[in-house]
Amino acid sequence: MKKILVIGYVWPEPNSSAAGSHMLSILRLYKRQGWQVEFATPAQRTEHMVDLDAEGISSQSIALNCDSFDAYVAEYGPDIVMFDRFMMEEQFGWRVEKNCPQALRILDTEDLQCLRQARHQAHKADRTMTTADLFNDIARREIAAILRSDLSLIISDFEIALLQDTFKVDRRLLHHLPFMVDLERLPAQTAAYGNRRHFMTIGNFRHAPNWDAVLYLQQIWPLIRKQVPDAELHIYGSYPPPKATALHNPKTGFLIKGWADDAFEVMEQARICLAPLRFGAGIKGKLLDAMMMQTPSITTPIGSEGMHGTVPWPGLIAEDADAFAAAAVALYNDETAWQQAQRQGTELLHQRYDGKILGEQLIERIQATLADLDEHRLHNFTGSMLRHHSMMSTKYMSQWIAAKNAQPANG
């Protein structure tokens, strides 16, 4: 039985975020292989975290910057270690290599945070993202973590291309893993057009792109409401702050609903899902949920990025507030176009998000890399260079000597 250790940035909250749902699907995949799976994190436990014990997955709290992790990981003796986001690889990767050198090291990037940061900075400055934005400090850390790892899971094919073409990362270090959908659990039929009303959006309020989308909807919603005066916008999401609940306005139909006990249920009740994302990275769980519940969506080029390839979008894509509102009204009022968008969503799920196929591909990739790990690492010279102890040792030794020499002599 293989032993896998997953080092999480946070405890998985599948009902709070797409990242939490994605993490749980990966953990379940590993468990189905008959592997022994343990989840460890330095994060505080939360009320919405998944019950890992019920999943047959053991868990452990670990400390940052503490040698106690060395004894822990050496005793556990994993065959595979997966880091959740680059920050965990930075903290624990070198300790894993020291204590378990033959363990396969996988980095689950979730999405490229350097890309999200670059777009956020450009958005705040009201300009197009530049290469200078992209080559930021987070990029230096994130790309270094990818290069130090044996394999990195990349959620978007757009980001695969970005890593290869812009950052020159060897394709052998990357594996495309979008959200894995259990197609057998998809509803064959959902609420009909005539039984659905209103617009909705959903997303963790702590995630900056989601909060910006709510603010952007304040501009867009009056344009929609003017043409559909009896419509409401239902805004769901975990952890709504006071600044969000303050926007609740029944008079205009702009309704902050907060936490959704069942995201699929509220998604199915709506006629249209709105996702006016102006920056971000990865792929969007809310838009995948919309496809699963056969709810057409209106989004932006950022929202649809890396999600549909050559398959038509199950709804409409618009770039500015006026076009977004016009697309939302048009699809809301056109039953034929709405039903066509439904069918396109189902087609897209089957073509790109089949969890069974994606899971098999990941396990095959892991097994193949494990079987040829020494050769695989031999070809990753940049990674071995980054892991070499001398990379910064001369600098810090020099600083230590300088500081020591600056100390006043005793006596």
Q: Are residues 118 and 8 in the same domain?
A: yes
**Structural domain boundaries enclosing 47:** 3-180+355-398
Q: Which 3 state secondary structure label does DSSP give 400? A: helix
**Residues 300 and 386 both lie in one domain:** no
- 362 and 332, same domain (yes or no): no
| 238-246 average pLDDT score | 93
Please give the pLDDT value at position 409.
62
Kindly state the average pLDDT of the residues 189-198: 96
364 and 307, same structural domain? no
In a domain, 360, yes or no: yes
Would the pLDDT of 104 be above 80? yes
Three-state helix/strand/coil letters over 67-91: CHHHHHHHHHCCCEEEEECHHHHHH
Clarify whether residues 316 and 277 are in a common domain. Answer: yes
Cα 33–chain centre separation: 23
16 assigned to some structural domain:
yes
Domain assignment of residue 301, yes or no: yes
CATH code for position 256? 3.40.50.2000
pLDDT digits 0-9 by tens, 327-367: 999 999 999 999 999 999 999 999 999 999 999 999 999 99
Residue 307 and residue 361 share a domain: no
Whose structure tokens read 């390839």?
A: 309
What average pLDDT does the segment 379-393 reach? Answer: 85
Same domain, yes or no: 337 and 365 = no
Same domain, 246 and 383: no
Residue 411 domain-assigned (yes or no): no
In a domain, 404, yes or no: no
> How wide is the angle at C-alpha 13 spanned by C-alphas 12 and 15, nearest 5°?
150
- Look over the chain and give the mean of its residue pLDDT values, rounded to a whole number: 94
> Are 237 and 263 within one domain?
yes
Asked whether 56 and 23 are in contact (CB, 8 A), the reply is no
Four-CA torsion 311, 315, 320, 322, nearest 10 degrees: 150
pLDDT of residue 399: 83
Distances (CA, A) of 42 to 10, 69, 74, 107, 296: 8, 10, 17, 17, 39
Note whether 221 and 306 are same-domain residues.
yes
Sign of the four-CA dihedral 6, 11, 15, 17 = negative
Query: pLDDT band for position 400 (50/70/90)?
Result: confident
Q: State pLDDT tens for residues 137-186.
A: 999 999 999 999 999 999 999 999 999 999 999 999 999 999 999 999 99
Instruction: Note whether 348 and 363 are same-domain residues.
Output: no
Least confidently predicted of 13-17, 78-82, 237-241, 367-371: 13-17
Within a domain: 409: no
In a domain, 337, yes or no: yes
Same domain (yes/no): 346, 385:
no
Q: pLDDT at residue 411 above 60?
A: no
Number of domains in the chain: 2
> Could you read off the pLDDT of 271-305 as tens digits, one per residue?
999 999 999 999 999 999 999 999 999 999 999 99
Query: Is the residue at 238 inside a domain?
Result: yes
